[in-house]
């Protein structure tokens, strides 16, 4: 193996390592998202099996976004 082959091998390995370093965070993120989605799905299925009928645990008080939107809708537009 002469110097040209060694340089080519070093260059290819460098590019491969850089590619792995760029792609690895995305692959870890995808795996994490899939795991979270699976847990959410399992929790939903367990809730359906245990409860039979869905009950809402949400508050009946409207959210801030709803309150803001209703206030904005009630104001009349003034044309100038």
The DSSP result for 2-19, as a single string, is -HHHHHHHHHHHHHHHHH
- The span from the CA of 56 to the CA of 73, in Å, is 27
pLDDT at residue 50, rounded to an integer: 87
Contact in structure between 59 and 53 (CB atoms under 8 Å):
no
pLDDT at residue 1, rounded to an integer: 81
- pTM as predicted: 0.50
Region label for 3, one of left (φ > 0), alpha (ψ between -120 and 50) or beta (otherwise): alpha
pLDDT at residue 69, rounded to an integer: 65
In degrees rounded to 5, what are phi and psi of residue 39? -65, -40
Of the pLDDT bands very low, low, confident and very high (cuts 50, 70, 90), residue 77 is low
């Amino acid at each position: 193996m002469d110097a040209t082959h060694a340089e080519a091998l070093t260059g290819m390995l460098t590019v491969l390592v850089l590619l792995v370093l760029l792609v690895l965070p995305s692959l870890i993120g995808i795996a994490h998202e899939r795991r979270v989605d699976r847990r959410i799905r399992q929790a939903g299925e367990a809730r359906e099996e245990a409860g039979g009928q869905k009950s809402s645990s949400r508050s009946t008080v409207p959210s801030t976004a709803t309150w803001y939107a209703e206030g904005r809708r009630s104001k009349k537009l003034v044309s100038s």
